[in-house]
Each structure stands twice: as C-alpha cells, then as structure tokens.
Amino acid sequence: MPRSFRERNGEKRRSGLFVRGDRMNGDTLSSASRGIEKITAIVCAAGKGSRAGFGSNKVLKAIQGISVLERTICAFVGANVNEIVVAASPCDRGEIAPLCARYGAILSEGGETRFLSVYNALKKATGNIVLVHDGARPFVTSETIARCIESVRTYKSGVCAVPATDTLASA
C-alpha cells in the first residue's frame, strides 16, 4: 500500500497543519489567493449498506482481504492528492479511525444524508480543489482522478461518469 500523503510530503500528521481557506471561515487567506494549489478528496463512507443487504456499512467489507474503503483511500493516496477527508457515521468510527490514521486521512462526522456528510467534511477540508467521491467505489483510477482535477483547473468544476456495467445473475 502507498505511504500516506503526509508522510510522502514530509509532513507530520497533526491537526491544524494546513491553512483553512477563506471559503470556510473568512479569517485566513485561502490557498488559491496565495497561488498555491491544494487538492482535497472527500470520501463519503457514512452509508448503512441497506440496499446491498449486508446489514452493515459496505465500505467495511473486504475484497481479497482489503476493505472497500481502504482500496478507495489508496486510490487517492496514489493519485497524489494533498488531503483526504473521510466522512463516517458514528457507529463505524471505531473501525474507520485506524484506517484513516494509517493513511494520514482526516475523519469527519457523517450525517443523516449524503449532503450533510459532505457538508461536515467540507468544514474540515482545506483544499482549493475539492473532489467528492463515494467510498463504495474503490476502483477509480489515478487517470480518472487526474482528469477530474484538470477539469476543475480548466472549467472550475467537473463531474465524473463512467459507463455502467450491468450484471446478470442466475440462481
């Protein structure tokens, strides 16, 4: 697995390390206003897995011994984002917190809805480019992430979409 982005950048892991952008609290200069680009990935991992029928959060399920969430976090670590914020529900924080610590990700309080989870994560995000990703989609590629970042640089926004793959199962 890749090292955490903070280790890779020679930074110590502690809160308050980054300057909070003026979009959040108005009392500091944002990265953008100082000409510094910082990329934050918000990973939404506060789901319940009810539609999947697991009875628990699907991001905690393992694929070949590695949880879906860990695979998702590693995709962003490998894509050289500067900061990862994981929105997790209170009932899953005990399992997700060590994973966040391992990769230098910031843990955020998940909300009752995806909107509230993203809102809470945005309050902790310090990047001037922010990517929002579903934690249950672990196979996003570095190329896709790079293209989304380039879209933001060029057009000030972007949306990623890939063709759906239908699955047909028989009993």
| pLDDT digit string, tens, across residues 114-145 | 999 999 999 999 999 999 999 999 999 999 99
d(CA 110, CA 125): 14
- Where do the domains of the chain lie, and which CATH numbers do they carry? 23-155 (3.90.550.10)
Q: What is the pLDDT of residue 98?
A: 96
Q: Which residue has the higher pLDDT, 140 or 2?
A: 140
User: Of 100, 1, 91, 98, which is closest to residue 46 (Cα–Cα)?
Assistant: 91
For residue 86 the two structure tokens come to 């994981």
Taking only the tens place, the pLDDT of each residue in 76-126 is 999 989 999 999 999 999 999 999 999 999 999 999 999 999 999 999 999
State whether residue 49 is helix, strand or coil. coil
Q: For a pLDDT cut of 70, what percent of the chain falls above it?
A: 73
SS3 content of the chain, % helix, strand, coil (to 5): 35, 15, 45
Identify the pLDDT of residue 171. Answer: 57
Distance of CA 143 to the CA centre of its chain: 16
pTM value is 0.76
For all residues of the chain together, what is the average pLDDT? 80
50: pLDDT confidence band, cut at 50, 70 and 90? low
Number of H helices, E strands in the chain: 6, 6
Beta-sheet pairing, 129-134 with 106-109: unpaired
